[in-house]
Amino acid sequence: MRYFHVDAFAQTPFTGNPAGVCPLETFPPAALMQRIAAENSLAETAFIVPRASAPAEYDIRWFTPAVEIDLCGHATLASAHVLFTHLGFSEAQVTFHSQSGPLRVAREANGRLTLDFPSRPPQELTSHPTGLADGLRATPLHVLAARDLLVVFNTEAEVLALRPDYARIAALEYVGVIATAPGSNGIDFVSRFFAPRVGVPEDPVTGSAHSTLIPYWAQKLGKTELRARQISPRGGDLWCRLRGDRVDIGGYAVTYAAGALLVENQ
């Protein structure tokens, strides 16, 4: 089984968010894909299969080490990078069909890849979920929710200082917790993402979280084009745009390793 390890939202190895990518002719059983993702021990491993009726379209599925998920940005970016860089894909845009609908990735002239993802604007909660403050070991200024919880702080320093209690965060009824604050020096907003509930204590750079972050900060700042930075220990930069009910999430990717997994696709 062909296998690529790609650092997404990165321009040099050892930064951004590492993803596994397995290009296949057909999907193996879900149990095998889950075991491969657990063995890879990356935030997500993506499995992609071409659609015979549409040469520029693929089906995609994503697995964390613990579960299959419905939307993943960095592993989608990594999958497009593999197609464009290693597998001779010559179109300017590829479409991935997923649990969250069609997701397009365009190759820009400067080498950057841009994800076309659904916008998932958050709604402010009237009360904080039980256990949130204890889980964060901090009290946010605002708490909103979409698929994930969005917790807003006053400063980047507060987000950087977070040392969550992962067991308490995992007990919350959300996929993950996005912590965010205004940025500085040309960065509109910063974030971190914690998802121990699905086997990812802290995700280095989270494309799917920006489906919620972009509409929030676009409304807050009164602008539709934004620069973002995820301030995890590895870190990563994102170029963002709000387009109605869709968002553009741009970033670079670099291949760290390419080879084969010695497992049977059956």
Q: How far apart are CA 83 and CA 71, in angstroms?
A: 19
| 183-240 residue pLDDT tens | 999 999 999 999 999 999 999 999 999 999 999 999 999 999 999 999 999 999 999 9
Mean pLDDT of the chain: 96
| C-alpha span between 228 and 240 (Å, rounded) | 7
- Whether residue 30 has pLDDT greater than 70: yes
CA distance 155 to 159: 7
Q: Where are the domains of the chain?
A: 2-119+250-260, 123-232
Concatenate the DSSP letters of all residues of 4-29 into one string.
EEEEES-SSTTSSEEEEEEE-SS---
Give per-residue pLDDT as tens, 60-70.
999 999 999 99
Q: What's the pLDDT score for residue 9?
A: 97
Element (DSSP H or E) covering residue 158: helix 156-160
Res 265: pLDDT:
64
Q: Which residues lie below 8 Å from residue 53, measured CB to CB, with a gap of 6+?
A: none
Task: Assess contact for 246 and 116: CB atoms under 8 A.
Answer: yes
Give residue 158's identity as a one-letter amino acid code.
E
For position 266, what pLDDT does the model report? 58
Mean pLDDT of 160-187: 97
- Give the CATH fold of the 2-119+250-260 domain: Diaminopimelate Epimerase; Chain A, domain 1 (3.10.310)
Tell the CATH superfamily of the 123-232 domain: Diaminopimelate Epimerase; Chain A, domain 1 (3.10.310.10)
pLDDT digits (tens, 9 = 90+) for 77-118: 999 999 999 999 999 999 999 999 999 999 998 999 999 999
- Choosing from 25, 39, 44, 158, which is the catalytic residue? 44
Separation CA 213–CA 228 (nearest Å)? 9
What pTM did the predictor assign?
0.93
Known catalytic residue at 91:
no
Q: What is the pLDDT of residue 55?
A: 82
**Are 2-119+250-260 and 123-232 in the same CATH fold?**
yes
